Every structure is written in structure tokens, then in C-alpha cells.
Amino acid sequence: MIVFDLLCATGHRFEGWFGSADDFASQKKRRLLECPTCGSAEVKRVPSAVRANLGAQPPQPPKQLAAAPAKTPEMEGKDPFAIAQILYSKMLDELLTKSEDVGKQFPAEARKIFYEQAPARPIRGQATNEEHDELVDEGIPVARFPVPPSDKLN
Ligand SMILES: [Zn+2]
């Protein structure tokens, strides 16, 4: 879903939720958009930070690991949930092929990288819940995946 800030002809500002930018355009064209305050169909989009909400958000990997892959034809016409799934699996693949598996050393290694005692590089590995929470408490950017990466590699 995408949230747009909208403005009616008499100046009421409100939010509209749409499946996509095209969805907004088509609703506007068919005059299905209405100001909730005065009912005016004279509605325009006002510039604002577009917030995308893909529902169940995949965990965000640390920035240096992977940028979100670009939209591809396989995503055309899919609902946001399906797209989130595709993006998620692409990110996972990216992580697996580009990161170094440090296994159970993960918490120690992540900490070293964070405190610049080891070369900065993408790593993956295992951490217990306690270790994960400690890393998060220290402000170290880690992402948790429901599927242990090693399972997917084998
Ligand atoms: Zn209005």
C-alpha cells in the first residue's frame, strides 16, 4: 500500500491509501476520490514523503549488505504482498552469495566490525536470541532471518 497526502479544492488535507500510484490515478480519473470532510471530488495529490507499507516487512539487512533490488517484470501486476515476497527472497539470495559465513562467531565478528576492530564486510552466521538482543542493545545493525542461511545453501 502507498499513502498519499491529498488536498481537496477547499483545502482539506487528508490521507489516501492506494495499491499503487496507478491505482491512485485511475481512482482520481473516475472521480472515486472524495474529501472525507466536504465530499469534494476535486482532489489532488500534494507533495509529501511517500510511505510504502508492504504489510509484513521483511527484516532489513544492514545497509552495506544489499540494496533493495530494482523492480523487475515478474513483479508487474502483483499485489504488494507478492512483491514483498519476491524482494525478500532476492535480498536473501544476495546476502547468501555476498556475505562471509562466520558461523557461531557471528556475534563476536559483528561486534568487531561495528567497533572497527575488523575489516568492514558483510557477514552472516548464527546467534542465540540473547546474543541477538545484546547486539541490538549495543546499537549494532543486525537482521534476523526466519530461515537460517546455512539451510538454504545446502
Ligand atoms: Zn474538503
- pLDDT for the residue 98: 83
Ligand 1 centroid – CA 41 distance (Å): 8
Give me the mean pLDDT over the 92-96 stretch. 77
Among 106-115, 127-136, 138-147, the range scoring the smallest mean pLDDT is 138-147
Question: Comparing 141 with 7, which gets the higher pLDDT?
Answer: 7
Give me the mean pLDDT over the 124-133 stretch. 89
Q: How confident is the model at residue 154 (pLDDT cuts 50, 70, 90)?
A: very low
14 vs 35: CA distance, rounded Å: 7
Ligand 1 centroid – CA 28 distance (Å): 15
Ligand 1 centroid – CA 14 distance (Å): 9
Helix 129-137 to helix 106-114 angle, to the nearest 10 degrees?
Answer: 10
Ligand 1 centroid – CA 124 distance (Å): 52
Give me the mean pLDDT over the 30-55 stretch. 79
